[in-house]
Structure 1
Amino acid sequence: MKLRLFIVVFFISIIGFSQEYNTAMFVSKSDLELTSYSKDSTANALVIYDYGNSFVDRNTFWLRVQNQRKIKILRPEGIERGQFEVKLYKGKSSEEKIENISATTYNLVNGKIVKSHLSKDAIFKEENENYTLVKFALPQVKVGSVLTVRYETQSKFMSKYQPWYFQGQDPVMYSEYNTSIPGNYEYHVKLVGGIPLDTNDVSLEKSCLEVGRNGYSDCGISKYVMKNIPAYKLEDYTTTELNYISRIEYELSVFRGFDGVVKKIAKTWKNADKELETDEDFGRQISKKSLVKSVLPESISLISDKLTKAKAIYQFVLDNYKWNGKSERYDVSIKTLNKEKVGSTFEINLLLENLLNIEGIKAYPILISTRQNGLITKIYPVLSDFNYVILKITIDEKSYYLDATDPYLVFGELPFRTLNQYGRLIDFDNGSYWEDIIVNDNSIKSHSIELFSYQDDHFTGRINSNSQGYYSYSKKKQFEENSITYKENSINNYTDIKIIDHNVNDYDKTKSEFNETLNFSLEPEIIGNKIYLNPFILKFFNKNPFQLQERTYPIDFGYKSIFMYKVKIDLNDNLKIVEMPSSVNYALPNNGGRILFNTNMKDEVLTLYFKIQFNRPIYLPEYYPYLKQFMDKVVKLQNNTVIVLENQ
């Protein structure tokens, strides 16, 4: 008995004096005493424990999902984590339910643990025709509190098994999801996000469900665990969060009834191709000569060179048809488009497909999902995931992607919204296949600056700016829509220099570049007889866009980029150099990118050259610390570079 007592006392003392969070629903004093989370010092709250258990009830055959969560409030911004919402869907013949809601707030008051329980009158419901929203707020929530929440949802809708989100807006120490799926149901199971599972156990439970006449079903039992999951924090250069938040999703593939009926729910791509071929809004709008008869002028039809003809057809569609901003595949009618001259993405690009094909240029539609719509699963066809269409043509062994919805894009350029890695090329003769959507050309932004006179403590100079590819797009659009406003806004953007005049050179919206010239004057900093000049009059990046401690999703620029900056300072006979900056040559791993900065002095002219190059459109999360350091160097170089001059 003494030995047993010692063990119990020793165990309690471990719980009492442990300086770590307790990853279970039990709330310890240590949970309340700790004030931060070592793996994320910026966290507003911490999910210490997150548990889910889903199974089909033996009696009702409803899907039951038991939820348990323990949360630590670390900052005032995290207090709102004490407010919960659970969405329950309504069907034609059934509604989801919620049962057994219980929640408690734990606080440490004068060294003692004080509990505040959720009351029933703090639970509210909001209803509409599609769902019921159940809301409840825990009492006495403040910085330092620990919250525990338990509830169970019940659903008759088995077509989509209950998904599980391991990751969210707060870091998670431990997340576990248990499933028991009857053999009647076959699901495609998809793990989304780049975080690996710590536990992925699978077993079989015999006769988990039983019906009359000796009918039964075995169940597949799964246990999934992730630990130390960083928060998903939105940052620049990404697509929709649905692409990357770590979770498990289910899509019903086959249902087997106890009566022997088998229903195949998920399609194969062969089935999907047949469905698309006969679809009124897609297949029946493709390669139909009758839809585009006599649309093209004879001057285009008579062009003999295929590439020249393709460009002319593309420009004809841009000039004569306007996109209405809609992209979904429904109510597609090329006949209506020809009449009204305004239509959706599918109407405009399938019109272009017809016009190219009738002129002997084979064009294939590619179904894609836009950046904000999320990546398409490749595991099985879900046609509703596709919300856009582009085209692919090949001329003289070179491929071009086309989209005729935007007049500021040139032949072979795609809208930025479509740069979402891959799409499904539809070929009804040979079968569809996945096509990677790759932009091979670099988009370039460059400034060439000359400082050619220094008088009365002022430099005068000229800026020649050139934007190519995606960097020219917004400039062309703004200038075309209102050239006066564009120039006024451009002048107002320069706070460190005085703009004397501003000219846009050889503007042509059908070209993938934009050129402008600005004449200016600059007043450098003068201390004593020394002139301090930061040569970066214009900056590509005012601050480092990468600020997270850890990023679990890719850095997606969409395209490769080059930034170039060149400054020529004519010293004449009145200036001499006292101090010049050092050269820099810094590279990302595996030729991922480079920073170059150097200076050169020749014939009384000082030249500084600066180049930033990103060699990939997308970088995996492993690159994040390197990119963060890379951009730190870029920003510091632009902000801290100084040339010291003095009068001769």
Structure 2
Amino acid sequence: MKKLLLITLLFSKFLVSQNQFNAENLTTTRADLELNEFKQDTTANAVVLYEYGNAEIHKKTFNLVLDYKKKIKILNRNGFDQANIEVYLYNSDRKSEKITNLVATTTNIEDGKVTRINVDPSQVFEENVNDNYTIFKFILPNIKEGSVITYSYTFESPFLFNFNSWHFQEDIPKLYSEYNTSIPGNYDYNIKLVGELKLSTNQSDIKKYCIQLENGASADCTIGKYVMKDIPAFIEEDYTTASKNYISRMEYELKIIKGFDGSVQNITKTWDTADDELKQNEDFGKQLKKESLVKKLIDPTLIDQKNELDKAKYIFNYVKNNYTWNGYNRIFKDVSIKDIIEEKTGNVAEINLLLYNLLKRHDIVTYPVLISTRENGFVTTLYPVISEFNYIILRTEINGKTYFLDATNPALVFGQIPFKCLNEYGREMDFDNGSRWIDLKTNTNSTTQHKINLIINEDDTFSGTLTTTKLGYDALDARLLYKKNNQNNLKYYRDKYPDLTFENSQVDTNKNNKSIFTETLSISGPLTVIDNKIYLDPFIFKFFTKNPLQLNSRTYPIDFGYKNNLVYYLQIDTNNKYKIVDKPLDKTIELSNNSGLLNFLTKPKDGNIDLSFRINFYNTIYPTNYYSELKSFFSNIVNIQNNSVIVLEKNI
């Protein structure tokens, strides 16, 4: 009986092994070659079966040494690019990173036999990118659908300020990824796990006397083991900031080096230290004290009698309309208030620090704010990493109210910063009381509203008016498009909707100096008539023609940047000559926790038809647990807009 049980268990294990990829080591098994689908993600073009890294600081050279191994299954032709491997190597001050001990193999099944071919040395080369970076490249041979590629190498670096980071997640899924580290106690790193995925193994132990020098000095090592399993691919889609904010990985930032002689070298600065350095910086702190250069720029008679808010708006509009941004974001290089005054053009720091000096000159409380734009990624908040900032805006306080300002774009209004700046936090620089973190989220809702009044004509056409009103960031986008179209949107509408006729455009781009855009057009077009019935698509203009959320699951938040309202009103005048035969079903959908609303209503009224369609996103950011709900929400939006029909029939 025991023998039978043992045989059954062994046979069961054999069957399982024949139906599963080997995610335990670098060995390519028959199952790895024969299985050609990945059920966990049927959209995947390739999948990492196994990944392993072991990083340590060498006991003699004190270089960082990483032993790396990887095995990838190629599922289809779109996965062939996984065979082109590139590793960036850094070099500086006559020191450089290098790769040795490369072994790379492609394994296939050909005519029922397993074949293996190693990478040809002629397919291994280095390419110089610039003075600091070289790309180490190699291409695995004989790639086919179903191939399994494996490679391993040793990476060595003399630069210890960044202990080798480890990306658990990439653009294809992974079954298993393991990272082992050995860090001597005299190197103190900030270690953080980025992303929302959780570690399946997170171990940390101390190994005594892992480093011993001839003079008797020694150090203990922290031994770490980090594992993730069944890691989904990171696929970037709409409504997000920089992908590097969310890709699951381990990051290391060197804080302190403790020498064997008892010396201590602080690598990571405090904000007090950073503030002192920035205060003395020629391209930043020194440029905040140029009021003497700006005192004659504005005629006092034009501004002195204004209240504080009107005075600030006048100064803002003066800078915005008289000085041109050259497109550069550099904030700690080539910054000169004197130069921008003379040349009338400059980078973002010159534009906004000129505005800062003018506001300070007229006694308006203002602070410069260092930020990182959305595409640049989040900044580290635990300690200063000045290189992560790439933009400057201002914050001013007037009558107890805060206004963010950016004078780089003529389309911006007072109190509005570009969408790219809505990236969680900024560092407000106050050299008298110390810098501080501030929230960059906007409390202003953005809105797009289409209001359409149509009349059904006797010649089977419709005619009427379209009034589009936009507020907030939607208005900013509309003003930029209007400028791009040379202040005439008629061609834009005619090209986008060739079956319709547009005339008589009237536009108000900046009503009462607020972020409002209003456009009114005459509109007409043909009706679809079948068997004396009119079939009318009520959504002449659609907010979404397809669902922007397409992933099976998403491991990063849905970040709209701002709260948004989308409103569509349609009124149809039938001239009392038509009756409604059919209309769309009304629908209301609420997102959980009162975070969103969809309301669709079609109402006959005195021979006319009133249709309203409203979409409200009450949150700026939705966590990943909202993804499936939001995906369904968008599907309903698209379905209503694409499949709604009003059927009219002539009265007898």
Q: Percent identity?
A: 46
Task: Classify the secondary structure of the residue corresponding to 2:78.
Answer: helix
Counterparts of residues 170-569 of structure 1 (less than 5 Å): 170-329=172-331, 330-480=333-483, 482-483=485-486, 486-505=489-508, 510-569=513-572
Q: C-alpha displacement at 1:159, in angstroms? A: 1.3
- The residue aligned with 1:105 is 106
Q: C-alpha displacement at 1:503, in angstroms? A: 3.1
* 1:83-137 C-alpha deviation (Å, 9 max, x unpaired): 2112222222322221111122122234443222223333222236433322211
Tell me, yes or no, if the aligned pair for 1:118 and 1:138 is still in contact at 8 Å. Answer: yes
Question: TM-score scaled to structure 1, two decimals?
Answer: 0.96
Task: Classify the secondary structure of the residue corresponding to 1:596.
Answer: strand
Q: C-alpha displacement at 1:49, in angstroms? A: 0.9
* 1:209-246 C-alpha deviation (Å, 9 max, x unpaired): 12121011111111111111111112112122111111
Task: Classify the secondary structure of the residue corresponding to 1:483.
Answer: coil
Q: C-alpha displacement at 1:603, in angstroms? A: 2.0
Task: Classify the secondary structure of the residue corresponding to 2:92.
Answer: coil
* 1:157-191 C-alpha deviation (Å, 9 max, x unpaired): 11111111111110111111111011121111122
- The residue aligned with 1:42 is 43
Give the letter for the 1:232 counterpart.
F
Distance 1:510 1:396 in 2: 19
Give the letter for the 1:585 counterpart.
T
Task: Classify the secondary structure of the residue corresponding to 1:90.
Answer: strand
Distance 1:509 1:201 in 2: 61
Give the letter for the 1:446 counterpart.
Q
Distance 2:43 2:92 in 1: 42
Tell me, yes or no, if the aligned pair for 1:16 and 1:29 is still in contact at 8 Å. Answer: no
Q: C-alpha displacement at 1:582, in angstroms? A: 1.5
Q: C-alpha displacement at 1:9, in angstroms? A: 6.8
Task: Classify the secondary structure of the residue corresponding to 1:252.
Answer: strand
* Residue 625 (structure 2) pairs with residue 628 (structure 1): no
More deviation, 521-530/629-638: 521-530
Relative distance call for 1:195 and 1:138 in structure 2 (3 A) is: same
Tell me, yes or no, if the aligned pair for 1:554 and 1:618 is still in contact at 8 Å. Answer: yes
Give the letter for the 2:339 counterpart.
T
- The residue aligned with 2:68 is 67
Distance 2:37 2:445 in 1: 44
Give the letter for the 1:102 counterpart.
V
- The residue aligned with 2:119 is 118
Distance 1:596 1:8 in 2: 58
- The residue aligned with 1:142 is 144
- The residue aligned with 1:131 is 133
Q: C-alpha displacement at 1:615, in angstroms? A: 1.0
Distance 2:545 2:132 in 1: 46
Relative distance call for 1:16 and 1:323 in structure 2 (3 A) is: closer
Tell me, yes or no, if the aligned pair for 2:103 and 2:151 is still in contact at 8 Å. Answer: yes
Distance 1:506 1:284 in 2: 38
Relative distance call for 1:16 and 1:271 in structure 2 (3 A) is: closer
Q: C-alpha displacement at 1:404, in angstroms? A: 0.9
Q: C-alpha displacement at 1:288, in angstroms? A: 4.0
Tell me, yes or no, if the aligned pair for 1:287 and 1:357 is still in contact at 8 Å. Answer: no
Distance 1:308 1:234 in 2: 43
More deviation, 371-380/489-498: 489-498
* 1:301-335 C-alpha deviation (Å, 9 max, x unpaired): 31341111111111111122111111212121112
Distance 2:244 2:17 in 1: 40
- The residue aligned with 1:53 is 54
Tell me, yes or no, if the aligned pair for 1:574 and 1:647 is still in contact at 8 Å. Answer: yes
Q: C-alpha displacement at 1:68, in angstroms? A: 0.6
- The residue aligned with 1:602 is 605
* 1:516-550 C-alpha deviation (Å, 9 max, x unpaired): 22222222222212211110011011111111111
Task: Classify the secondary structure of the residue corresponding to 1:285.
Answer: helix
Question: TM-score scaled to structure 2, two decimals?
Answer: 0.95
Distance 2:204 2:530 in 1: 73
Give the letter for the 2:610 counterpart.
T
Task: Classify the secondary structure of the residue corresponding to 2:142.
Answer: coil
Give the letter for the 1:440 counterpart.
N
Q: C-alpha displacement at 1:295, in angstroms? A: 2.1
More deviation, 17-26/408-417: 17-26
Relative distance call for 1:258 and 1:542 in structure 2 (3 A) is: same
Relative distance call for 1:517 and 1:57 in structure 2 (3 A) is: same
Tell me, yes or no, if the aligned pair for 2:500 and 2:524 is still in contact at 8 Å. Answer: yes
Distance 1:21 1:633 in 2: 41
Task: Classify the secondary structure of the residue corresponding to 1:413.
Answer: coil
More deviation, 517-526/354-363: 517-526
Distance 2:621 2:351 in 1: 29
Tell me, yes or no, if the aligned pair for 1:65 and 1:152 is still in contact at 8 Å. Answer: yes
Tell me, yes or no, if the aligned pair for 1:163 and 1:248 is still in contact at 8 Å. Answer: yes
What are structure 2's unaligned runs of at least 5 residues? none
What are structure 1's unaligned runs of at least 5 residues? none
* Residue 572 (structure 2) pairs with residue 591 (structure 1): no
More deviation, 123-132/304-313: 123-132
Distance 1:174 1:166 in 2: 9
More deviation, 17-26/47-56: 17-26
Tell me, yes or no, if the aligned pair for 2:46 and 2:173 is still in contact at 8 Å. Answer: yes
Q: What is the RMSD computed on CA atoms of the aligned residues?
A: 2.1
Distance 1:459 1:249 in 2: 61
Tell me, yes or no, if the aligned pair for 1:524 and 1:531 is still in contact at 8 Å. Answer: yes
Distance 1:150 1:75 in 2: 23
Task: Classify the secondary structure of the residue corresponding to 1:629.
Answer: helix
Counting matched residue pairs gives 647
Relative distance call for 1:644 and 1:152 in structure 2 (3 A) is: same
Tell me, yes or no, if the aligned pair for 2:423 and 2:441 is still in contact at 8 Å. Answer: no
Task: Classify the secondary structure of the residue corresponding to 2:555.
Answer: coil
Give the letter for the 1:131 counterpart.
Y
Tell me, yes or no, if the aligned pair for 2:365 and 2:398 is still in contact at 8 Å. Answer: no
Tell me, yes or no, if the aligned pair for 1:453 and 1:461 is still in contact at 8 Å. Answer: no
Relative distance call for 1:530 and 1:176 in structure 2 (3 A) is: same
Task: Classify the secondary structure of the residue corresponding to 1:428.
Answer: coil
Give the letter for the 1:324 counterpart.
N
1:153 to 152, 155, 179: 155
Relative distance call for 1:400 and 1:580 in structure 2 (3 A) is: same
Tell me, yes or no, if the aligned pair for 2:352 and 2:392 is still in contact at 8 Å. Answer: yes
Task: Classify the secondary structure of the residue corresponding to 1:455.
Answer: coil
